[in-house]
Amino acid sequence: MIFLLIVIIAVALLLIGTPIFVVISGLTLYLFFDSQIDISAIIIEMHRMATTPVLVAIPLFTFAGYLLSESGAPKRIIRLSNALMGWLPGGLSVIALVTCAVFTALTGATGLTIIALGGILLPAMKQGRYSDNFSLGLLTTSGTLGLLFPPSLPLIIYAIVAKVRIDHLFIAGILPGILLVVLLSAFSVYRSVRTDVPQTKFKFNEVGIAIKETLWELPLPVVVLGGIYSGYFAVSEAAAITAVYVLLVEVVIYRDIRLRQLPEIMKKSMVLVGGLLIILGAAMGLTNYLIDAEIPMQLLDFFKAHIENPILFLVVLNIFLLAVGCTMGIFSALVVVVPLFTPLAEAYGIDPIHLGIIFLANLEIGASIPPLGINLFIASMRFDKPVLQLYVASLPFIAILLLALAIITYLPWLSLALIG
């Protein structure tokens, strides 16, 4: 009874805006104290996490993402995409999807993608005679696409919490991520053809100019991913190379960012990282308690008593994760929920890498699901539109994303095919 009361209080504190690391830390300390376990176990867990070699990748990739968002990179990427695909039916909508996916993969934050690219893409889509609702729905939901593509920050967080290989998780997200982009692109092309959206002409000189403009940024994914998978450097080394490369390109070569702007960009990126690491440390302490108290095993016994079929388990898991993604931030959800469900999934014979892709696909879709999806409120503020209009505008795209989610969930080879 007392435990239930504590949980209710913790949920109430979260709902009124109390920082999640405060709630998790307080809950963990209470549970350890109540169980008469030495609270130094929390410090030991934080130290173990701090000495994880891959942890250094988080601040470095985040810094590189913030540098790109503050530079002219988004405009250059949009221009290149427009030059290559603008002539296709629905070309501009496909450009928006691809650009948002790439940008989200690099920054790891869906809200940042909507804020940074929304102001550029929405006027362009209106000029291209796309309807308001179509444009708003596409931009609101497409900000989540890139979370399955490396070097997305949520992929790294999941790998740390679930203790799986990051390079395998990076590879596993590629085909499911492409599936999401392809299905949304097909729907966008279909809608564009139905509404007679005009097409632009293909111009070779425009392609040449756009490639020349992005010449220094185009090699970045190839260098990073190629280096990791060829064995030339580890993920942490890839993060360092990415940060240094982006810094040189945007500050020295393109000169989009001045030296006096760097401290502010560093501050913004490290505030995000600092908050994330505090949440991660507190959550790992809570995870230790849950394992010691055999909470995952109790959950397993409950599920085994009521659900025998792995397919039905995945249905329940998807519904639960969509609700979590709708109500919690993706980083908080990963560190709190993953430790509870990884033992359950293993008992049902679900590959931990495939489970990671299922987790991330659910959480990124949940961020756009009414009524509480955070992307809806960010888009409402960015585009100055009523949130109810965004509810309606997003529904067709959410339906497509849910179809993709079903394919990702029940066809594990899509996530595992590229892993050797």
pLDDT digit string (tens) for 5-32? Answer: 776 777 777 667 677 677 777 777 777 7
pLDDT averaged over every residue in the chain: 82
Residue that is written with structure tokens 């979370």 in the block: 147
Please report whether residue 21 resides in a domain.
Answer: no
Do the beta carbons of residue 162 and residue 352 sit within 8 Å? yes
CA pair distance 268, 248, nearest whole angstrom = 19
With cut-offs at 50, 70 and 90, classify the pLDDT of residue 420: low
Burial of 268: CB neighbours in 10 Å, binned 0-12, 13-18, 19+: middle
Of 146-155, 259-268, 297-306, minimum mean pLDDT range: 297-306
Please report whether residue 24 resides in a domain.
Answer: no
CA pair distance 180, 152, nearest whole angstrom = 15
CA pair distance 188, 100, nearest whole angstrom = 15
Please report whether residue 148 resides in a domain.
Answer: yes
Residue 241: closest CA among 224, 255, 262, 218: 224
Please report whether residue 274 resides in a domain.
Answer: yes
CA pair distance 241, 230, nearest whole angstrom = 15
pLDDT score, position 83 = 81
pTM to 2 decimal places: 0.80
What is the per-residue pLDDT across 192-203, written as a single tens digit (0 to 9) for each? 888 777 777 778
Please report whether residue 20 resides in a domain.
Answer: no
pLDDT score, position 17 = 67
Q: How far is CA 28 from CA 32, 294, 297, 407, in A?
A: 6, 15, 19, 37
Task: Tally the domains of the chain.
Answer: 1
Please report whether residue 164 resides in a domain.
Answer: yes
Residue 274: closest CA among 14, 16, 18, 21: 21
Residues shown for the chain: 420
pLDDT score, position 182 = 94
- Range 149-173 average pLDDT: 88
What is the per-residue pLDDT across 215-235, written as a single tens digit (0 to 9) for each? 888 888 777 777 776 767 777
Helix, strand, or coil here: 332?
A: helix
What is the per-residue pLDDT across 352-405, written as a single tens digit (0 to 9) for each? 999 999 999 999 899 888 887 888 888 888 888 888 888 999 999 999 999 999
Cβ partners under 8 Å of residue 218, min gap 6: 211
Please report whether residue 98 resides in a domain.
Answer: yes
Write b or e for each residue in 16-31: b if 16 or more Cβ atoms lie within 10 A of its Cβ, otherwise e: eeeebbebbbbbbbbb
CA atoms 137, 139, 141, 142: torsion sign: positive
Range of the domain at 269: 37-416
- Range 109-137 average pLDDT: 80
Please report whether residue 4 resides in a domain.
Answer: no
Written as six digits, the tokens of 29 are: 């300390």
First to last CA, the chain: 49
Q: Where are the alpha helices (DSSP H) in 248-351?
A: 262-292, 295-306, 310-327, 330-347
